[in-house]
Amino acid sequence: MKKAVSVIVAALLLVTPVQASESAQTMAEENAVTGEAAAAAELAAWAALDAAPVEEAVFGMETVPVTAAGLEVEAPSAILMERETGTVIWEKNADTRLEPASVTKIMTMLLLAEAVDAGSVALTDTAVCSAYASSMGGSQVFLEENERMTLSDLLKSVAVSSGNDAAVVIAEHLCGSESAFVARMNQRAAELGMTGTTFQNCTGLPCEGEHLTTARDIALMSRALLSHTWIREYTTIWMDTIRGGEFGLSNTNKLIYYYDGATGLKTGFTQSAGYCLSASAFREDVEYIAVVLNCETSAERFESAKQLLSFAFANYTLVDAAPREPIPPITVELGAQSTVQPAAAERFPVLVTRNQASSVEISIDLLESVAAPVAEGQELGTMKVTAGETTVAQIPLLAAQNVEKLTLWQIWGRLLQGTFADVLGKKL
């Protein structure tokens, strides 16, 4: 039965979304002989709905409001965030706890990306599919028990086709079991400040218990995933194959094809979660994240996300808050060094509206002096970024190095040195 279904779905991925939806309907009717087959067919039908066609007009670049106050989207819950600074531009019921469906897999991909960058695994490593992983329903690439696949192809299967079976194989490979991986998902969520999130699985499939998150939390984990720049090599794939070209993959996120600059990120759909999407796009050196949850239709989720992204690109930009002139050193009283250099800890881009960009000014406020000892990272002042009458950022200026306090002998030595210098000066 499973092999037959896999052949059907592999073919569906290479035909139009309309045909896929109709074929899934037929498959659901034909396999409704037993309860198990009916459940599998229902999950397959959900997967087809997630990939259902949307009219191209939805992706057009229409005029957007000039102010956030005038921005309206149909999505019941949504948020718009700039990726680099984490600035939230707009939100609507962003802390309402809802089911995320397959948007869950952003965390699954994040944990894999972190493991790759930490060097604990490589994308060329091969993972083995367990009986449990092969039993996953919904969106899948129909992995067979004991089938071997590289982590790269498994990641591609998750990012492009939302493969539930591929996600579980990744989870088991990284942590030994899905339950151990889910514990790590929840731990990582807490570390990222995702206070409204509880994961029960790594796929987003319907389950017992609370599998809930918020639009704000999804934006946070989306931002974390996008910090791994190479992940876009996977999340921007429109169509590809696995198994040496034998199995086709088609991205469920239609923005990848239709929306200029789209970089990802993940769709989701179940009957109880509705249509969900975390969408990201990059243009002119700035990337935005738009999350929409619990939409009634696929068109609504894409339209809502597109409205948010287009609003951001039309009305906001990043400016570099680097000081225009070198920051002067600060005198250190009784220090082993006479001065300490204040500096911003890192580059500080600031998000401003486009009409503020030309009026951005930077002012520096420093301590006149500081008593030793001075610790590296100690705050020595503030760099204020203003746009007109508005303060858009206050960036701390920190000591670039440690400065030890003079010992008693060093103080006596300096006093004596000063005395001798005075005497010699008088004689000369």
Can you give 149-176 as a three-state secondary structure string?
EEHHHHHHHHHHHCCHHHHHHHHHHHHC
Q: pLDDT tens, position by position, for the chain (428 residues)? A: 444 444 444 444 433 333 333 333 333 333 333 344 544 555 555 556 566 665 555 555 444 544 566 788 999 999 999 999 999 999 999 999 999 999 999 999 999 999 999 999 999 999 999 999 999 988 999 999 999 999 999 999 999 999 999 999 999 999 999 999 999 999 999 999 999 999 999 999 999 889 999 999 999 999 999 999 999 999 999 999 999 999 999 999 999 999 999 999 999 999 999 999 999 999 999 999 999 999 999 999 999 999 999 999 999 999 987 887 889 999 999 888 899 999 986 667 889 999 888 899 999 999 999 999 999 999 999 999 998 888 988 889 999 999 998 887 766 666 666 554 454 455 44
Provide the CB-side half-sphere exposure for 357 (13 A, CA).
11
Domains of the chain in start order, with CATH, are 1-53 (no CATH), 55-315 (3.40.710.10), 330-406 (2.60.410.10)
Report pLDDT for 325.
Answer: 84
Report pLDDT for 376.
Answer: 94
**Residue with the two structure tokens 């808050």:** 321
Q: What is the rounded distance in angstroms from the CA atom of residue 404 to the CA atom of residue 97? A: 51
Q: What is the rounded distance in angstroms from the CA atom of residue 104 to the CA atom of residue 72? A: 26
Report pLDDT for 344.
Answer: 83
Angle at 418 between CA 416 and CA 424, to 5 degrees: 100
Report pLDDT for 137.
Answer: 87
pTM over 0.75: yes
Report pLDDT for 316.
Answer: 94
Do 1 and 142 touch, CB atoms closer than 8 A? no
Does residue 49 come out as left (phi exceeding 0), alpha (psi in the -120 to 50 range) or beta? Answer: alpha
Do 318 and 351 touch, CB atoms closer than 8 A? yes
Q: Catalytic site residues?
A: 102, 105, 162
Amino acid at 261: G
Report pLDDT for 311.
Answer: 96
Report pLDDT for 277.
Answer: 98
